[in-house]
Structure 1
Amino acid sequence: FSKSQQDSLLGAVEKGVVTLIGATTENPSFEVIRPLLSRCQLYVLQSLSKEDLEELIQRALKTDVILQQRHIEVKENAALIRYSGGDARKLLNILELVVEASPLNTDVLITDEMVVKCLQQNPLAYDKDGEMHYDIVSAFIKSIRGSDPDAALYWMARMIEGGEDPQFIARRLVISAAEDIGLANPNALLIANAAFDAVMKIGWPEGRIPLAEATVYLATSPKSNSAYQGINAALETARSTGNLPVPLHLRNAPTKLMKQLGYGSGYKYSHNYEGHFAQQQYLPDELKDARFWFAQNSPAEEKLHQRMVQLWGDKKK
């Protein structure tokens, strides 16, 4: 149903004229409009457990008319269960495929090797437009943020095997380098950006190598989100305080009239002073003492913080 079609159902569902029953493999919050979803009772069906799937295999072998005609022994079921991904229908399809691949009038001995050979490749669950996509990329970024290179590589491998666009992975690395590593290790952004360029130049599948290098580097780097928090705080202040005027001494004065009005008057050109620094006000008058960036606990940022204190004194402590 389109959004307009879903809108048309609201009145009938509200009055009880229509009983709406739906099923989806996607998160309904992505597909169903909020007013309609709020009028429904939502049930989440979890993936089947290993025990459930093992029981299902035995039930199929005992009750399915076609399978009963063959002598089937399941020697190993790890591959069957792994490739099913907790999906009963997929498990039964794989079981049927393996049995049909065996010669007629012969016993069927199911092993992990046999299952892998029949499937050729692992049909990993990964929908680039669905909930699984967002869950896996979230796990990827959080593994980098949590300094776990092994988990980060695993989730990146899941994205690669699922057919994710390499540029999407590279973009996430660049964002993570700036948001989560930041000033604790500024080289992280350079590495991530270089990996992005490398993927664009060399293509796939070799592009996985620079992506992996950047992933490990980011995951093992010290972390800081001070720049991320700083810009968020500055944006919030900018939105709440409106268009505060630029101090006169910071304004550009390209015309004679502007100079007469005091534009640029009193500005101190930093390079004309010792240490290339001169204390003066750079924020609007209403925010002259505001602070947005605060150094976090890392050697690199502590060094930057000490420099600010040396230049500005108590204003930047």
Structure 2
Amino acid sequence: MNPLADKIRPRNLEEVVGQQHLIGPNRILNRILKSGCITNMIFYGPPGVGKTTIARIIAEKSNKRLYKLNATTASLKDIEDITKDLNTLMTSDGVILYLDEIQNFNKRQQQSLLQYMEDGSITLIASTTENPYHYIYKAILSRSTIFEFKPVTNEDIKAALKRGTAICEKEFKDIKINIDNDAYAYLSGCSNGDVRKAINALEIAIKSTMPDENAVLHIDLETAKECSQSKVINYDSDGDSHYDIISAFQKSIRGSDCDAAIHYLARLIKADDLQIICRRLLVIACEDIGMAYPQAISIVKNCVDSAMQLGFPEARFPLSEAVLVLATAPKSNSATTAIDMALSDLETKNIGDIPLHLKDAHYSGAKKMGRGVEYKFPHAYKNHYVAQQYLPDNLLGRKYYVSGDNKNERIIAEYWNKIKNN
């Protein structure tokens, strides 16, 4: 017996929920389907949002013979078997190859398709949950159009659930299915934009619930919760979502948005990724707060050490504190800019030699070589400062550190302006 997710699978674009930016009236995939001019395409987006469904609809509406492969299990031989059918009666109108999870094909496997894409004997429709620019061979990308699929909204998922309910009710014939609105809302919300996940939970709820004496099968909120797995956040430690969440996490702290920063922290906690959280917090303390609040690194280090010692679930408390300290702290990237400029100069400039008076003079014969002879010991002067050359001759006047416009750095700048100009 086919699962409900297969029974509910749309047969045309009008039945597909979500992705209206691609399949809505006069949108690109809708126009491609109506024109019949199918080109090489890559569908990119999270699981359960309609990539496979739309690919099948497009392929089936064409006159071309459809082959389906999943790159997680397919091999070069599978591709060779398809190419053997080319230019035969059954492929006289051409071939569409639907390749699911193309990111699992290595470079050689992907390259094996190029010749056939080039001469038009194979039209590729591939799908991937990972960023195609990171995982797909550039020659494939240059011959394909990339379409990004978005997570499906709760309202669209709810519509799909109601359609699934109607299908089940029709099959049961004498049994009426009654699902509470809050149960629908829960199933929609906990699916994280994945229609297939929501439909699977609905099917479990329907099949595990007995109808009452009036032949009514009632599903309430508690039943919906029991039949739904714990919400799975789209996160893969080696994949796209991993870097997207970390990026959003750091940018939210940098942007001083406490609520967004805590939200992305929660995603990382949900993924049980303690090490990357701690590492990122330490980086942020120096990269984005820096000289505006130099004590931040010490506070964050203590929070990080506590979190590592505690482990989850208690680690969430010091991690939350560290995030809020950083998000509410004044910001400065002066330290980051300074070191990056200095490193860039090492790569791009003739930096020259270290001034003689700064070179090591703690050995016999150093003075004969002129090393350290003219060095002025700052602690021997007023305010522990004396003007002398420190940068190499080739970099004289080069300025790396520019103080940020915050209270701490303003105070430091005023102090040194006063000392150096006396």
Cα-to-partner distance string for 1:230-250 (whole Å, 9 max, x where unaligned): 111111222111452101111
Q: Which residue of 1 aligns with 2:255?
A: 146
Query: Aligned-residue CA RMSD in angstroms?
Result: 2.1
Contact 1:84–1:90, Cα closer than 8 Å, also in 2: yes
Per-residue displacement from partner, 1:279-315 (whole Å, max 9, x unpaired)? 111101121111111111111010111122123339x
Once the two structures are superposed, the pairs formed by residues 1-317 of structure 1 within 5 Å of their partners are 1-64=105-168, 66=171, 70-76=175-181, 77-103=184-210, 107-119=216-228, 121-163=230-272, 165-313=273-421
Query: Distance in 2 between the 1:247 and 1:262 partners?
Result: 10
User: What do residues 255-275 of structure 1 show as CA deviations (whole Å, max 9, x unaligned)?
Assistant: 444321211120111122222
Distance, in Å, in 2 between the alignment partners of 1:243 and 1:291 is: 14
User: 1:24-58: per-residue Cα shift (whole Å, max 9, x none)?
Assistant: 12222232122321221111222223332222122
List alignment gaps of at least 5 residues for structure 1: none
Cross-structure match for 2:92: none
Instruction: Determine the C-alpha separation between the residues in 2 that align with 1:268 and 1:82.
Output: 69
Contact 1:50 / 1:86 at 8 angstroms: preserved in 2? Answer: yes
Cα distance, 1:42–1:101 mapped onto 2, change above 3 Å: same
Contact 1:83 1:124 in 2 (8 A): no
CA deviations on 1:156-214 (whole Å, 9 max, x unpaired) are 11111123x21110111111111111111111111111122112222222111111110
Aligned CA distance change for structure 1 residues 66 and 283 (closer, same or farther; 3 Å) = farther
**How many residue pairs align between the two structures?**
313
Greater mean deviation of Cα atoms: 178-187 or 128-137: 128-137
- Asked if the contact 1:60–1:67 (Cα under 8 Å) also holds between the matched residues in 2, the reply is no
Distance 1:243 1:184 in 2: 30
Q: In the alignment, residue 75 of structure 1 is paired with which amino acid?
A: D
Report the Cα offset of residue 145 of structure 1: 1.1
Distance in 2 (CA, whole Å) between partners of 1:243 and 1:214 is: 39
| The 10-residue stretch of structure 1 (236-245 or 186-195) with the greater mean CA deviation from structure 2 | 236-245
Amino acid in the other structure paired with 1:209: F
- Aligned mates of 1:129, 1:94 — CA distance in 2: 27
| Distance of 1:107 and 1:124 partners within structure 2 | 34
Aligned to 1:84, the other structure's residue is in SS state: coil
Aligned-partner Cα distance in 2 for 1:41–1:279: 62
Q: 1:253 to 1:132 in 2, by over 3 A?
A: same
Higher helix share: 1
Q: Residue deviations 1:89-144, cap 9 Å, x none? A: 11210110111221256533233332122225223332222222222222211111
Task: Kindly state the Cα deviation for residue 278 of structure 1 after the two structures are TM-superposed.
Answer: 1.3
Cα separation, 2, equivalents of 1:123 and 1:201: 26
Aligned to 2:68: none
Contact 2:187 2:202 (8 Å CA) reproduced: yes
Q: List gaps (5 residues or longer) in structure 2.
A: 1-104
For residues 62-85 of structure 1, the C-alpha deviation after alignment (integer angstroms, 9 at most, x for no partner) is 234646564212212211111122
Higher strand share: 2
Percent of aligned pairs sharing the same letter: 38
Provide the rounded CA distance (Å) in 1 between the counterparts of 2:319 and 2:210. 44
